[in-house]
Amino acid sequence: MRRRGVLSLVLLAVVTLVVSASGAADFAFPLQANSVRLAAIGDMGTGEQPQIDVAQQMVKSRKAFPFEFVITLGDNIYTGSQPSDFEKAFAVPYKLLLDAGVQFYATLGNHDTTNERFYKPFNMNGANYYTYKKGHVRFFALDSNYMDPKQTAWIETQLREAGNGDWKICYFHHPLYSSGRYHGPAIDLRKVLEPLFVKYGVDVVFSGHDHVFERIRPQKGIYYFIEGASGSLRAGNLAPSAITAKGFDTDRSFMMIEFAGDDMYFQTTSRTGVAVDSGVIHRTIRPASGGVAHE
């Protein structure tokens, strides 16, 4: 009797593993020549073991999906601004990635000090907000702590001048849409940014702040992702709502993304290597409309 019980448990464990593995294996990045490959992490800078676990999983995943750079969605360093804080919360956890030449492009969260913009590995070049281009993808990194008229005017100019040919990706700390119970959406910020995003055809927006992963159903044609659980976690904090396409709030996670032509492939992976979400977003070139997601 006891042997049958043990056998059942083993069988259950095997089935669970297969389901998890198939979740991860089902999805394949195209790894096209000239595609743009990156990872996204947010709210990671604790310097604690879960952050290190995620970093190690990123290294493992990079063997199959060689991403070239990482965008950070804020709260890069929670503990302070002493040199030891930079070491503990960034340089040590991501050492293997840094040594492999992976670049990081940071944004500031509410736990970051503005002097992080002078830390070369964050590639902010002394600016609180900035833009850069990788292949056919234009990135806009914003400072959502301080969205003053000067920054708003700057983002409008940059979006307008970017034209319609490239993907337009914005990222910053505070999410415009969120089903996180603790913070929720930054509606005040949404009022300022969303009209610009719609007007100038932003395709995808990445944020953190809520310590969960959430993929939001397209809002006014724009895709929104929250990845705020790459170090910190508020387990069970997600209250899935009508805008939630997919959520994950039981463990830490990070995202991998590939822009191949007009398709954006994405996968969210837990710190144990389980694929918790994946899909493809197809972009139609337009000034103010969204694409179609295939899960």
Partner 1 sequence: MRTKRWIRCRGVSGLVALFLCVVATRLLAGQGAAPSKERADDAAAFKEFSARVQAYVKVQQTVESSLPALKPTDLPEMITAHQQALARKIREARPRAKPGDIFTPAAREAFRHASRAALEGPRSANSRAYMKPGAADSTMLLVVNGIYPDTEPITALSPALLTAFPPLPVEVAYRVVGRTLIVIDVKSRLVVDVARLILPPAS
For CA atoms 186, 209, 269, 9, the dihedral sign is: negative
| Two tokens, residue 197 | 């995003």
153 binds partner 1 (CB under 8 A): no
Q: Are 103 and 141 in contact (CB under 8 A)?
A: no
- Contact with partner 1 (CB under 8 A) among 62, 134, 138, 183: 183
Name the minimum Å distance from CB 98 to partner 1.
Answer: 10
- With CB under 8 A as the contact rule, which of the stretches 27-35, 79-87, 130-138, 277-285 interacts with partner 1? 79-87
Spatial separation of the C-alpha atoms in residues 234 and 253, rounded to whole Å: 12
Place of tokens 């969120």: 178
Site string for partner 1, 9-48 (x = CB under 8 A): ----------------------------------------
156 binds partner 1 (CB under 8 A): no
209 binds partner 1 (CB under 8 A): yes
Beta pairing partners, 293: 281
- Contact with partner 1 (CB under 8 A) among 34, 150, 165, 242: 150
Q: Considering only CA atoms, which of 141, 138, 211, 205 is closest in space to residue 176?
A: 205
Q: Are 199 and 286 in contact (CB under 8 A)?
A: no
| Two tokens, residue 136 | 């056919």
88 binds partner 1 (CB under 8 A): no
174 binds partner 1 (CB under 8 A): yes
Q: CA 262, 268, 271: angle at the middle one, nearest 5?
A: 150
Number of residues that bind partner 1 (CB under 8 A): 40
Name the minimum Å distance from CB 172 to partner 1.
Answer: 10
Place of tokens 């990045």: 29
Binding site for partner 1 (CB under 8 A): 79-83, 85-87, 110-111, 113-115, 117-121, 124-126, 144-150, 152, 174, 182-184, 186-189, 191-192, 209
